[in-house]
Amino acid sequence: MTYQDFSLLAYLAASVLFIFGLKGLSSPETARRGNVYAICGMALAVLATLAAPDVHHHGWILGAIVVGGSIGVGVALRIQMTALPQLVAMLHSLVGLAAVFVAKGAFYAPAAYGIAAPEGGIYTSSLIEMLLGDAIGAITFSGSLVAFAKLQGLMGSAPVRFKGQHALNALLGLTIVALGVGFAASQAGLPFWLMTAVALVLGVTLIIPIGGADMPVIVSMLNSYSGWAAAGIGFTLNNNLLIITGALIGASGAILSYIMCRAMNRSFLSVLFGGFGSGDAAAPSAAAQAQQRGANIGSVEDAAFLLKQAENVVIVPGYGMAVAQAQHAVREMMERLGAENVNVRFAVHPVAGRMPGHMNVLLADANVPYDQVFEMDDINNDFPNTDVAFVIGANDVTNPAAKDPNSPIFGMPILEVERAQTVLFLKRSLGSGYAGVDNDLFYRSNTMMLLGDAKETTESLVRALKGAH
């Protein structure tokens, strides 16, 4: 068996291990083993590549792996679970940048990749594949950096919009194509580098008009891009492992984007062209109006009494809970109520966090068992049998206005808390949420508002539950 055959088989095995890794995620029971499969696949792929007879400078390469690996491990061990979206955005940007560097490497050393044409220069097909990998990589890199900055609060989460924005993006796109054609025809470095530069600008202009509320879609979309960039590089290098892995990731990101769009009842295009998520939610006029409309504002003691009398309680957490760091207090409340034989469950909306599945990780981080956490579709029918729906830090995802054809959020799937006996709404103010739509739920007769900081209020609720013996 030649080295060539050996490496092809090793790459095939690695691809299969990656697929098993993703397959493991179908249940929390098998997920950890799946992750180990994926790690084995990666180790196999790297070792098979390093074993190639024409690979030199092993010391340098291992050094680079150690440097990059230590940074990765250091960050991964320290990151707070609330900051996961930022970490993921940052990792997307690194893949994008790595794709750009590999494309440039292939351009300057075509012989190493076996893409040098015998008559000199590089095969045109390889050039085109190289261009695609490079351009998608550059867009992924700069776009993810903008997403990172928005998530980290380094720049405002409000959409940045200006006149002629779409025309500018179209122009940048056409420039990329023109430079690409120029590069494929001339094989010169200049148009290649210019194309990369324009793609970097396009990544920024594509992401800045997107508001904070749409971030889960964007993070998923960039996930998808990072996959397509890897696949593009795989075509250049004619490497099946990169092609398969890139296709898996591209499909994964695309599906997640679709799920997030569906959960917000937004079309993918309307997200891309900007809109929701001005960031500054609580409008004072709404609060004043709310007072007039007479919301039923309760005390912590009232709430504790209601919860203790209940048989079934469903907690609906939103991102506001995580912002207030209230998840541990909420878990304490859950345990307290569990001790009183109250059946407590959690109901999670698909866009409850800042990225797909984020809320589930935050709850797991607070030691909430995953079999007490339910997806929207699995629990919505249970609200009529629920005594108390406890909404904490969520707003739009419970807003019955989604059923009103005249509302801007019409059609968005919601957690139907209004069908519960009593709704306890824990909130800082009576302001509207990200979508800027007033929540009629606050003024219904079966709703009790608990106004205040999510963490402090929940903590005093726990004290009230303990003291009420």
Partner 1 sequence: MSVFIAALTVFILAVFVGYHVVWNVTPALHTPLMSVTNAISGVIVVGAIIAAAPEEFQLASLFGLVAVTLASVNVFGGFVVTQRMLNKFKKRR
The residues assigned a catalytic role are 396
DSSP string, 406-426: TSTTTT-----GGGSSEEEEE
Q: How far is the CB of 332 from partner 1 (least distance, A)?
A: 16
Under 8 Å between Cβ of 98 and 137? yes
Is the Cβ of residue 49 or residue 325 nearer to partner 1 in the bound state? 49
CA distances from 454 to 306, 325, 327, 355, 392 (A): 18, 8, 9, 21, 7
Residue 448 within binding range of partner 1, rule CB under 8 A = no
Is the Cβ of residue 20 or residue 305 nearer to partner 1 in the bound state? 20
Q: How far is the CB of 461 from partner 1 (least distance, A)?
A: 22
- Count the site residues for partner 1 by CB under 8 A: 117
Q: How far apart are CA 82 and CA 149, in angstroms?
A: 15
Is the Cβ of residue 106 or residue 202 nearer to partner 1 in the bound state? 106
Q: In this chain, which of 3, 72, 153, 385 binds partner 1, going by CB under 8 A?
A: 72
Strands 373-375 and 388-392: unpaired
Residues of span 203-222 touching partner 1 by CB under 8 A:
219-220
Within 10 A of 242 (CB to CB), how many other CB atoms are there? 23
Q: How far is the CB of 291 from partner 1 (least distance, A)?
A: 38
Is the Cβ of residue 204 or residue 364 nearer to partner 1 in the bound state? 364
Sole window of 155-163, 317-325, 360-368, 408-416 interacting with partner 1 (rule: CB under 8 A):
360-368
Under 8 Å between Cβ of 389 and 420? yes
List the structure tokens of 196. Answer: 């990369």
Sole window of 11-19, 155-163, 170-178, 409-417 interacting with partner 1 (rule: CB under 8 A):
11-19
Sole window of 106-114, 161-169, 318-326, 452-460 interacting with partner 1 (rule: CB under 8 A):
106-114
Position 454, amino acid: A
Q: How far is the CB of 19 from partner 1 (least distance, A)?
A: 6
Q: How far is the CB of 68 from partner 1 (least distance, A)?
A: 3
Q: How far apart are CA 315 and CA 334, in angstroms?
A: 9
Q: CB-based contacts of 337: which residues, under 8 Å, 6+ apart?
A: 307, 308, 310, 313, 344, 465
Under 8 Å between Cβ of 390 and 251? no
Phi, psi of 392 (to 5 degrees): -130, 115
Q: In this chain, which of 9, 112, 282, 468 binds partner 1, going by CB under 8 A?
A: 112
Q: In this chain, which of 82, 86, 88, 191 binds partner 1, going by CB under 8 A?
A: 88
Q: In this chain, which of 77, 162, 341, 406 binds partner 1, going by CB under 8 A?
A: 77
Residue from 323, 279, 346 nearest 454 by CA: 323
Residue 81 within binding range of partner 1, rule CB under 8 A = yes
Q: In this chain, which of 4, 69, 154, 408 binds partner 1, going by CB under 8 A?
A: 69
Beta strands in 194-333 (DSSP E): 312-317
Helix (H, G, I), strand (E, B) or coil at 149: helix
List the structure tokens of 372. Answer: 């007490």
Residues of span 365-424 touching partner 1 by CB under 8 A:
365, 367, 369-373, 375
Q: CB-based contacts of 154: which residues, under 8 Å, 6+ apart?
A: 148
Q: In this chain, which of 248, 321, 388, 394 binds partner 1, going by CB under 8 A?
A: 248
With residues binned 3-state (H G I as helix, E B as strand, rest as coil), the percentages for the chain, rounded to 5, are 65, 5, 25
Residue 83 within binding range of partner 1, rule CB under 8 A = no
Residues of span 18-57 touching partner 1 by CB under 8 A:
18-19, 21-23, 25-28, 31-32, 34-35, 38-39, 41-42, 45-46, 49-50, 52, 54-57
Q: How far is the CB of 375 from partner 1 (least distance, A)?
A: 5
Residue 289 within binding range of partner 1, rule CB under 8 A = no
Q: How far apart are CA 191 and CA 194, in angstroms?
A: 5
DSSP string, 439-465: -GGGGSTTEEEEES-HHHHHHHHHHHH
Residue 3 within binding range of partner 1, rule CB under 8 A = no
Residue 201 within binding range of partner 1, rule CB under 8 A = no
Position 380, amino acid: N
CA distances from 117 to 16, 121, 219, 232 (A): 32, 6, 39, 19
Residue 318 within binding range of partner 1, rule CB under 8 A = no
Sole window of 197-205, 254-262, 393-401, 456-464 interacting with partner 1 (rule: CB under 8 A):
254-262
Q: How far is the CB of 147 from partner 1 (least distance, A)?
A: 13
Q: In this chain, which of 211, 274, 356, 393 binds partner 1, going by CB under 8 A?
A: 356
Q: How far is the CB of 337 from partner 1 (least distance, A)?
A: 14
Is the Cβ of residue 327 or residue 458 nearer to partner 1 in the bound state? 327
Is the Cβ of residue 268 or residue 273 nearer to partner 1 in the bound state? 268
Q: How far is the CB of 76 from partner 1 (least distance, A)?
A: 4
